[in-house]
Every structure is written in C-alpha cells, then in structure tokens.
Amino acid sequence: MKHSDWLITTGERGNPATRLDRRHPRGSAWSSGNEVRPLVHGRTYFAELLRGIRALHPGDLLLFTDWRGDPDERLDGEGTEIGAVLCEAAARGVIVKGLVWRSHLDRFQFSETENRHLGEEIEAAGGECLLDMRVRPGGSHHQKLVVLRHPGRPGLDTAYAGGIDLCHSRNDDASHRGDPQAMPLATAYGPRPPWHDVHLAVRGPAVGDLEAVFRERWDDPAPLSRSPLLRLRELLRHEDTRPGGLPPQLPDPPPCGSHTVQVLRTYPNRLLRGYPFAPDGERSIARGYLKALKRARSLVYVEDQYLWSPNVVDAFARALGDNPRLRLIAVVPTVPEQDGRLSLPMYLVGRVTALERLRRAGGERVAVYGLENRSGTPVYVHAKVCVIDDVWASVGSDNINLRSWTHDSELGCAVLGEVPDTRRPRDPGGLGDGARRFARELRLELAREHLDGGEPEVLCDPVGAFEAFAASAAALDSWHEGGGRGPKPPGRLRTYRPPGLSRPARALAMPLYRVLVDPDGRPLGLRRRNAY
C-alpha cells in the first residue's frame, strides 16, 4: 500500500503557508509510528481525559480548542467539573492555554455566556483561555482538540481530537440514556437527549502536528474580533484579548505504534484579512475525502451529524456511479436538532436533496439509518466518522456539508494502519491495499453497538455488513409498526425516512439553508467550478 494513494501530498493540501507539513522530515504530509485509539462515547473520552489532566505536573503543557465549553460539565461525577479540573491544573503550575469560539449571542441559543465563564475561571486560576471570533461572518471555530505535553516524559504525550466538545450533553455511553447535564434539542429527543459521538486518542509524532495546529491559531496576530461592539464589550469586561507567550514547542514524541496519521483541516477564505497560516483558506478535509473516495470500491461507512449538501455528496455519488460493487451505509440523526416551523425545513432540505442525489447514483446500494436507545428514544448522532474499504478511516470535528468543508474551522485525522487485517475478505477493495486492522476494528466496534452484537466473520464482509444492517433495521421497524408487541428485537437501527417537503417548502427553505445553515466559504473561482 502506498500512502500517497490514499493520503493527500503536501502539494495537494493547497496551503503552502502552513508549517504543518514543512515541520516533517522531507516535507511529508503525514507522520508514521503513531498509536491511535478510537474513544467511542463521551463517557469514555471524559474519564480518560480526567486521568490525563490530573497526572500533569508543574511545567507540563495543556492546550485546547473547542466550539463550546461548559465549566460545570462533569467529566466523571461530582467534583470533576471541567472548569474546576482545568483550574486545578493551572493552580499547580501546569501551563494551560485555550481557544474557544466566542459564539453568537445567547438569544440565538449558542454558547457565548458559557464560553466566557469558562475562560474567566481559567484566567482567575493562572491559565489563559481566549474567546476567538477570528472567523468568517456567520462562521464558527468548530475544532475540538486537547494536547497534553510532558517535558522530559515524552512517552506520556497525548492529543485528543474528534467530535466531542467539553460541554453539556456529551457525557453519554453505549446505553444512550443521555447526559444528565443536557442541552435542549428537538422534542423527539426528550429532556435528556441520548448522544452518540467518537473521538481519537493519539500518541507519537502526530501529537506534534496537532500541537502545531493549536500554535498556528494562538500565534495569529489578528485581533480576536473585528466587531467594534464586541471589542467595546471586551474592554468593559476587562477580557484577556492578547495571547500570552507559549514555551517553545518540544521535539515530537518518539514513534510508539503502527498508525500513519494525516492531520486535515478546514479554514475559510476569510474576507479582507486571511489567516497568516492559511491566507486563502485550507480545504484539506475536503481534498482528503475526494482523494480517498476515488479508491472506494466496496464499502463506504459513514456516521455523520448532517450528511447535507448536494455539492458535497456529489463526490460520494460519483464513486457510487463509477463502481457498481460499491455500497454506502450512513448513520445519521433521525430528527434534526431543531424542530421549529422555520428551522425544521431549513435543516431538512439539504439532507433530502443530498440523499436524492446519492440514491440516483447508487439505488439500493445506499442505506441510511437512524438510531434509538432501548427505550425507543432517538439517539442524536453527533459523530463524524468515515471508513472506506476498511483501509482509510477519518474521525474529526468535520461534518459532510459545505460548512465543514469550506466555511468553519475544522480539524480531523485520517488514519492508515500499517498492520493488515487477515480476516476475510483480506482485500475488500480489490486494489491490493488489503484491509487494515485499525479501520476495520473501528467499523466493527460501531457496527456491533448498533446491532447489539454481530458475528465478526459476517460484519467483516462489506456485503454481509450491509445485509446485517438492513435486516436489523427491518426487524425493529416491523416491531414498531406492529405496536411493539412481543419481545423487542436486538439492534438500535431504524430505517431513515425523511419527511416529505413540498416544492413550495423547498423553494422557500433552500435560500435560507444556503445562507444560514450550510454556507460556502470558498473563493469565488472555486465555487464556480465546485472545486476545493
């Protein structure tokens, strides 16, 4: 297997201003010798993160970025509130630095107040947490990253990246009973929405890459906000708006595993004054997907919060159209996160049109499912995972839509395992790459949860997995349609059937969807060519 068959090269990243690849020997666009572990569910991630933070010594380094941070969110029970844990670390001499999206006003149900309070707590304890509004209008900083560095103890260095924010609703587990500290979602999810999510724990040289991502943002000399109103509020509240110094970056941790990691990002083409590390933006997440999808021959497995945008899913549709053996399994939220009279059509129209495009290309080879817990409550799928032919796996903050591929800041990791998986089929794509243990085990772990079990020899086979998902969803659908009589069948999959949208509803919703829900952050020339 050639890494360059699946991973983008330095030139293909399309952003010569970043030092992300220049820092590697010979300018490689990825790092090898890493150990990567998937952390499925917030409960798993939060418990490990708590242990890692509490083990930090004075002089160690803790860096984090996030979309939202709730200081009272408990990592693992009473007394483990994230704000308190970070403050305790700063108070004992750990260097704590954070960047959290400032967000829009709370009356729009975003998270400005929560993020400001988290920053205030950390600052009072001796750390530094800045509210970062260096985004495109209407955009957000959506990266979710924690880096723990240990001078003199590089074997402990770890980075965490993926889909899980340090905030309410995320602390759920495989039972999907929801986080007791819940954010409100659509009424179908109830007062304590069940939540499905995935993160990665990374050790090895790639920790240095992920730290470099943080440092590029931290060292950006642009003001944290361009808005005169926000800058006045910063002044009146005595907010910290100037990043303090960081110690020099340590050498990368030594190799410790068998995984190659490529760090992929989105930064928008920011108007007037771009990012110094991405003056024309960066769309390496989109480019990474586009390259990997060209090698898809057997099965594309996706878990995604949105799966929106006909423009974006066109790459998946082309792969389906070009390869008659290729199947697509997608696991998505059954109900959009908002169900208002105005917001619901905006949230539905992008998915409806995207699924129509996929089904025109793949017909019955496209299967889309939602999840429910054992009580029958829908599970909100917040994960952002893609596995292609059990070779290439991606986990990140990025969703499959234009916003994530072009408009907001995003961060993901594409992982190629060096260890082949010898179970049949040994080469599902038929291109000589061979199945890889990391990608296959990630897919199987998720499949076994959704099916409440399953035989590995069946699920390893793409056709067997496709049929197992279909049979499980059909049985559960039938049980519900029959009034829930008799024992409930195993499995949590429900066939996704989007509600119909009339032509007038689509016509009204589509402009709002394009402007508010799924905006395009590409330069005009790329938009015209639908290129990235």
Domains and CATH numbers, the chain: 3-8+26-257 (3.30.870.10), 282-521 (3.30.870.10)
Give the separation between CA 529 and CA 532, rounded to whole angstroms: 9
- SS3 at position 36: strand
Give the separation between CA 84 and CA 420, rounded to whole angstroms: 43
Give the separation between CA 156 and CA 52, rounded to whole angstroms: 9
Asked if 261 and 209 count as a contact pair (C-beta separation under 8 A), the reply is yes
Residues 6+ apart with CB under 8 A from 167: 66, 67, 68, 69, 70, 73, 111, 114, 183
Give the separation between CA 344 and CA 15, rounded to whole angstroms: 36
Q: What DSSP line would sit under 40-75, residue for residue?
A: ESHHHHHHHHHHHHHTPPTT-EEEEEES-B-TT-BS
Give the separation between CA 383 and CA 40, rounded to whole angstroms: 9
pLDDT tens for residues 306-364? 998 989 999 999 999 999 999 999 999 999 998 887 788 988 999 999 999 999 999 99
pLDDT (0 to 100) of residue 236: 58
Asked if 320 and 51 count as a contact pair (C-beta separation under 8 A), the reply is no
Cis bond leading into 425, ω under 30°?
yes
Give the separation between CA 275 and CA 216, rounded to whole angstroms: 9
Which DSSP symbol is given to 173? -
Residue 426: count of CB within 10 angstroms of its CB: 12
Angle 39-281-38 from CA coordinates, rounded to 5°: 5
Give the separation between CA 12 and CA 276, rounded to whole angstroms: 19
Task: Give whole-number Cα distances, 474 to 20, 376, 430, 498, 508, in Å.
Answer: 46, 15, 30, 16, 34
pLDDT tens for residues 242-294? 889 999 999 999 999 999 999 999 999 987 778 999 999 999 999 999 999 99
Residues of the chain by 3-state class (helix, strand, coil), percent to 5 = 35, 20, 45
b/e per residue 174-209 (b: at least 16 CB within 10 A): eebebbebbbebbeebeebbbbbbbbbbbbbbbbbb
Asked if 240 and 123 count as a contact pair (C-beta separation under 8 A), the reply is yes
pLDDT (0 to 100) of residue 228: 62
pLDDT (0 to 100) of residue 233: 64
Count Cβ atoms within 10 A of the Cβ of residue 337 and give its class: 0-12 exposed, 13-18 middle, 19 or more buried.
middle
| Nearest CA-CA partner of 102 in 85, 114, 86 | 114
Asked if 145 and 64 count as a contact pair (C-beta separation under 8 A), the reply is yes
Partners of 64 in beta bridges: 98, 146
CA atoms in the 13 A half-sphere facing the CB of 234 = 19
C-alpha gyration radius of the chain: 22
pLDDT (0 to 100) of residue 108: 38
pLDDT (0 to 100) of residue 117: 73
Give the separation between CA 386 and CA 289, rounded to whole angstroms: 9
Residue 232: count of CB within 10 angstroms of its CB: 10
| Nearest CA-CA partner of 303 in 422, 401, 403, 384 | 384
pLDDT (0 to 100) of residue 241: 73
Give the separation between CA 30 and CA 137, rounded to whole angstroms: 31
With both helix axes pointing from N to C terminus, report the angle between 82-91 and 112-124 in degrees, rounded to the nearest 10: 20
b/e per residue 40-76 (b: at least 16 CB within 10 A): bbbbbbbbbbbebbeebeeebbbbbbbbbbbbebbbe
- SS3 at position 361: helix
Give the separation between CA 186 and CA 157, rounded to whole angstroms: 39
Q: What DSSP line would sit under 400-435, residue for residue?
A: SSHIIIIISBEEEEEEEESSBP-SSSS-TTSSS---
pLDDT mean for each 10 residues of the chain (532 residues): 96 97 93 98 98 98 96 96 96 96 54 65 90 92 98 98 97 98 95 98 98 98 76 64 91 98 96 89 98 98 95 96 98 92 87 95 98 98 98 98 97 98 98 98 98 96 98 98 96 93 90 93 92 95
Task: Give whole-number Cα distances, 455 to 251, 389, 452, in Å.
Answer: 43, 18, 11
Residues 6+ apart with CB under 8 A from 291: 6, 7, 8, 12
Residue 258: count of CB within 10 angstroms of its CB: 18
Give the separation between CA 209 and CA 212, rounded to whole angstroms: 5
